[in-house]
Copies of this chain bind each other. A is one copy, B any other.
Amino acid sequence: MSASTHGPRERIVYEAAQHLRRTGVAGTGLREVVSAAAAPRGSLQHYFPGGKDQLVGEALEWAGTWAAERVDEHLARMRRPSASRLFDAITDDWATDLASRDFERGCPVAAAVVDCADTNDAVRQAASAALQTWQRPITEALVAMGRGPRRAQALSTLMLCALEGAIVLARAQRDTAPLRLVARELAPVLDA
């Protein structure tokens, strides 16, 4: 996302998502987000009258949509799509991002769940919705590959569980090996 082609509202949502990825919900300061977005003072109140909850909710929605679009991009590039190739592409995306940014940024949805699942139901629901947005094109692709709808849903859930955990282990160890490992180990289950 470049500053020149998006308005302040979009830039604020994008920067909020990136802050969530670095330091979680409680660690995300609204002033820093507005400053990073190069947005005018007062734009937060103007665009997000619901305050931090609204901004975090929209950041999660943005993240879910972005992740779903990446799934579509991976699928569009594959000559012979398979479940394991799709999971490989998703984990490779994350490994590349983590390695290139020195393990700075994790998954904003996981951050929202860890920080807010028990204390802020609006944020929890936004996190759950973002996961669904992300999972839907994966499930649909698996159905297109011949899996039944229930099986496709189970496999896409398995992918997201393994991926989310692998991101946590990778950041803890500062090593992308857990991402490579889950892609390799799940391949037989995904393609069975």
Contacts and interface: CB of A to CB of B under 8 A. Distances in A.
Interface stretch (A1-9, A50-58, A70-78, A180-188): A180-188
Contacts of A165: 160-166, 168
Nearest to A175: B128
Given A104-B118, A163-B165, A127 B181 contact: no
A130 to B, nearest CB: 9
Q: How many copies does the complex hold?
A: 2
B131 A117 contact: no
Contacts of A155: 185
Interface of A: 22-27, 103-106, 109-111, 113-119, 124, 127-128, 131, 154-155, 157-158, 160-166, 168-169, 171-174, 177-178, 181-182, 185-186, 188-189
B117 A114 contact: no
Contact of A168 (B104, B114, B119): B114
Main secondary structure of the interface of A (DSSP, over half): helix
Nearest to A119: B23
A8 to B, nearest CB: 25
Given A115-B23, A119-B23, A158-B181, A172 B106 contact: no
A1 B25 CA distance: 30
